[in-house]
Structure 1
């Protein structure tokens, strides 16, 4: 009778778990409230127990066979999970591989996500014939499970499929940084290999989703999956090159390395500021060395939000000569400034003549590198789908066009136009902050939104409503 009662309760519990609604009937009621994923059925009597109590029950279960069983909580949970009914469409072999994992929160999360399960079956179909690869497959799935847990805690992403949407790219970056232990002060990861592995996993999942969407004629989903892999191609390429060349030049001074790093930073400055290539190319060494820190006065500081104060401390601002002799501002990120400081400090060792007045000078010459040439070269080698669109002129037009999605006042539009050195109407009569502080605190928000591909998220907002932390925190 006890066995029949357990079998009836087992059938009821399976229906409740599959439907996601209803009350579970455990063999013994726990003292505290427990989630459904904390219960498992005994493989012998089909009674429903908490995971912590299951292994003790199985040692004394009156329905267990006389054959000795290997002890251990993990093995008991794996055996009982495998004995549960298979989810729809899951192969028995893959289900067995999956249930050899530790039955913890990561296991519960990855098992409930459709994309992770599809990715696991893809890996099993490709590598499952080799038993030695089974642990590798489990590790790949656990990496994604840990990412999903981190994303649910720190962002609005709820499934792995949400991670593949281009609009959520910066939230994915935030989650990966948090999971891999990124330190914003040292710009180093506690576990850099984990960030790389998750990137490879998400790329493969985007390919799977694109293939499935094409088969189902869902071209919108296919386009999203394809676009995700191409987001910020040029930015990512320049960042990697800058880090590699900075490390090489710090170790050994070389004119060739100096020249390559100068070209990369030149392209980064043009790209971030949406500045005319010729203006940045002809930036003088004296303009950089004598840069204006633009520290706001105490009374001005009170008019800024906490985030805007942080932006003023994060960015550096210099003034250069622009078109028609106008004063042109340029904002530098800490990474750019770090690279430029290294270039300035190694000019003599890398055979840059003292007479060369340019910051982005050519070694053994009195001329400078052309920003348009550098941008055109990196646009081609980075793998961008439309390299011809990545010119300083088209990027400046893009800024003017995309800024229309924001609900900028006439004052704010004038501020943005003034920063880009576009022709503007006669300035209206109003009191305004000193322009150095203004450009650091206000215009830097638009530049970061463009740099991260997130401007569309702030549609209808003013500059005061836009909140983008310079360290990548999502608001």
Structure 2
């Protein structure tokens, strides 16, 4: 039955015809990519959920449904209304022809019911007040807040947003779906949201877009295409309010919009037409888009990969606007295009571009900054900071030079990105002075960690990631902390505005350019061999590569990755380079041992513990190189004699291996100490054994040079043997 008395708030909503006129005028085409949480909260401020509020202290089981055709509300079975009133509608006729109680009939009824409820919910959001109808009434744990519900992209059922991934497994639409359910649902919802002064902001982004000789007219293309505008609108909403934005967020939006505009220009050049982007999001033009993107990706594979993500989002935007205007043809075109995209895009574009990108990186040398240059630059910056701390009155240029030196010093020490340091706020430094560490944790640290905890300060700043809003850390030494405070206390005398919130400020309400500061300081520093390599990207790769030398655990590696502001997989796959020097040293040890059949000799040991004396192949290669250099002066008889000696040496080695195999114990081969070796060991390290002190590696190597029989044992084995003697674990006794 129809309950007209319960629709007082819904009646205030505009009808579908009114909405269609509004959208045709272009006044509220609000399709967006991904609204922020604060924007969604503002839209749902006066919207409630049906069945959410209790009635007289009891749970409200009322769940109304809305007809897709007549827009009326029903609390009884809406399937009876469809069969009795709208039996001549094509969708209802298709359902009526199916067997009763069949699964297909039930599924189609559910989809029709969801479409009617979704249309009603969109009208509620457009008006800013009313009652949402969701697929399941809110439970006592979920809460009845309307902002917790989002529509499914395929079946249009409004689901609790935390359950979107669970709903996708049993969605009545049964389509292949993107795994980013939250983003896609917000994208579907965003055209119905209302925002203030956004058209001026979008127009401002287009006006500040630079024209280039290579790609002229992109600004005009963006201003005239409706889908590109909606794409830009979504990106603007995603970065939030001005207080939440970063300085270069809008520049990044311009870069993304330019890429889409280049795609549209390329499509029009291929077809010799002047069509909008919406006309190309069709199944029949899918291969045209594929070929255009592949051509654009020949010189830049990363551009082809990026455009693939943008095309997916633009397809969702077209579907969203079509749902808003009830354009069934456009919605079907977007759905079919999406199916083709999911079926073929990876094989045609993504896989090809990824392979091309990796092939181009093979044997490509990346010159990292020299350690000597970094030490010289560090000393140069420290001297400038010390000079700055000795004065209290500075001119504007002196203050700017000191600020640039301190900024580069922080980047150099922390290996941070430029934007993470240059946008450091004055309030962050001031608030950090009163912070204190937990005494319980400090008590459990060793002496070195306690000293560092006392000397260092840590400031939390916003990292690069926009999804999880990852926080990263800037570590300040005592000198850096003093310089930051001195920078704040002298900025008024230098003519810096007190309203500028940034630590490294200038006259305008903006910070200093960190990239320019890196270039200036590296050029001013004397005696640098390669100043052009001192850049943040190379500094971060330098850190990730050189820490391979350390024997780090998984937790320690994760701490380094967290400090750099990314995951461990990104750290190992992107930043860390497999240096050819490491390949020639550490990996070559294992290959030499394996080639000579002596891998079992090094069982249970690390690659670093394998010395050059234990790798006979290396000695043979040295000898062979020397013999080749003297090959012209050696006679034939001498070469025959050397061959005989070589064969004798092989026999001696094979005999030694057989002797070693006699003393195998368990899975690891082990050679016992004979009486001669033990006497030599006692003679060489008598002082260490008497004092019950383990010898150093230098002492062991000197003993090996003096007593050749000890060369058959590694430094670690000799040290372990002496340690066992000192601890009384050794069974033999020497007089």
TM (norm. structure 2) is 0.26
